[in-house]
Amino acid sequence: MSAPPEPRSFTAPDGLLRLRERVDQRLAEVLDSEHERWSAFDPLLAEPIDRLRAFSVNGGKRLRPAFCLLGHVAVGGDPEDPFVLDAGTALELLHVFALVHDDVMDGSTLRRGAPTIHQHFGDLHAASEWVGESRRFGEGVAVLVGDLALVLADGLLTGADPTAWEVYNELRVELVMGQVLDVASAALPTSDPVTSQKISLFKSAKYTVERPLHLGAAIAGRLDECAEAFTGYGLPVGEAFQLRDDVLGAFGDEATLGKPVGDDFRENKPTRLVLHAVSVAREQQLAPALEVLSHLGDPGLTPANVVAIQEVLEATGARSAVEDRIERLLADAVDALDTVDLDEGARRQLVDLAVYCAHRDR
């Protein structure tokens, strides 16, 4: 079994940083063109596109474009192929679509250290003393901004061959189905570990890693040769990414994350951390822990409540169990890359990216 390298840093690999610049430039080109077109048609259309541009270009890890490009290069594709860049940019716009809608559904007020789209437009409505309810206006405009991101993403993949389009289409369907499960599970009185795993599979593992890798390989015309190995790598990396997200959502630094810590508690997200803690508390009949955990799902959780839940997650071994799981997933992912003949430089970058996903701090 190949061992993953020790995490050297929590910062993004150099290759990811360089790709981020390329994707940011392409995003700016696409959105500047739309801004010029639609603001000339009506000035009211300028602000929504401005917000979409600011949200898209000024933040994000660009992981999905990176996995798409590396999936392409690893099987012999041209790293300078402009269509691969467009495909990666499409994945980033698709991610923006999901985040904007997700913030509306969760009622989040901050994203990437700035007001969420619906919060921005709700505040604008209130400050301008426009007619109607500010909250509904903000949410309505945000839904439309997300829809625009989705339409622009699809447009960038115009001309994709049937195999590549099939991968992209499946990615979109899986993303939506995962989100439906996420919303429904948060509303249920009890959490189901099986459902939680399905949410992680579709909202993170497939959507973030496996399908972007498949898309890049499909554009190179080599998907059949590497699909199994990329799945063997992508699903554990995607799960590790989600588990790290759960840990950061529970214990991260708000200034670094750019969003409040503890929102998953307020939304009653059935994370592996929470499920483990609830299971242990029930099995061992830990009444004080169960009392603390009974507040999960309360949108009015105070900072003190959040700290109390954090302490229960530590005391029940939930955090330790999740960290152990992340390390096992990382090792499985690295092993999967050894089952197929890949470009060595791309393989090394895939290992670095897996380590980053598992050990990032934001």
How many residues would you count in the chain?
362
- The pTM of the full predicted model, rounded to 2 decimals, is 0.89
Question: Which of 82, 233, 96, 230 is CA-nearest to residue 167?
Answer: 230
Which CATH number characterizes residue 186's domain? 1.10.600.10
Give residues with Cβ within 8 angstroms of 56, minimum separation 6. Answer: 27, 31, 92, 93, 96, 149
pLDDT band at 270 (very low <50, low <70, confident <90, very high): confident
Radius of gyration for the alpha carbons in the chain, expressed in angstroms and rounded: 21
H runs (alpha helix) in the chain: 14-41, 46-57, 63-74, 82-106, 117-128, 134-156, 162-187, 193-200, 211-219, 223-251, 254-257, 263-266, 272-283, 287-293, 303-315, 318-337, 344-359
Place of tokens 């459902």: 195
The contacts found for 17-22 with CB under 8 angstroms, 24 or more apart, are: 19/62, 19/65, 19/66, 19/69, 19/88, 20/60, 20/61, 20/62, 22/85
Q: Band of the pLDDT at 362, cuts 50, 70, 90? A: confident
Residue ranges making up the domain that contains 144: 14-359
Output the CA torsion sign for 145, 208, 18, 248: positive
Taking only the tens place, the pLDDT of each residue in 64-85 is 999 999 999 999 999 999 999 9
4 lies in a domain?
no
Q: With bands split at pLDDT 50, 70 and 90, how would you rate the model's confidence at 325? A: very high
Does 205 fall in a domain? yes
**Pairwise CA distance, residues 66 & 208, whole Å:** 10
Give 79-93 as a DSSP string: TT-HHHHHHHHHHHH
> Residue 263 pLDDT more than 80?
yes
Answer yes or no: is 153 within a domain.
Answer: yes
Predicted local distance difference test score (pLDDT) of residue 5? 45
Distance CA 204, CA 66 (A): 15
Alpha-carbon span 190 to 192, nearest angstrom: 7
pLDDT digits (tens, 9 = 90+) for 200-235: 888 888 999 999 999 999 999 999 999 999 999 999
**Does some domain include residue 265?**
yes
Q: Does the residue 1 lie in any domain?
A: no
Q: Does 9 score more than 60 pLDDT?
A: no
Mean pLDDT of 267-296: 92
Q: How far apart are CA 290 and CA 294, in angstroms?
A: 6
Cα–Cα distance for residue pair 301/266, rounded to 1 Å: 6
Please check whether residue 5 lies inside any domain of the structure: no
The secondary element (H helix, E strand) that includes residue 115 is strand 114-115
- pLDDT over threshold 70, residue 12: no
Q: What is the DSSP letter of 133?
A: -
Q: What is the mean pLDDT of the chain?
A: 91
DSSP structure class, residue 202 = I
Q: Is residue 212 part of a domain?
A: yes
Three-state SS for 210?
helix
Domain presence at residue 9 = no
For range 273-295, the mean pLDDT: 94
Q: How many folded domains does the chain comprise?
A: 1
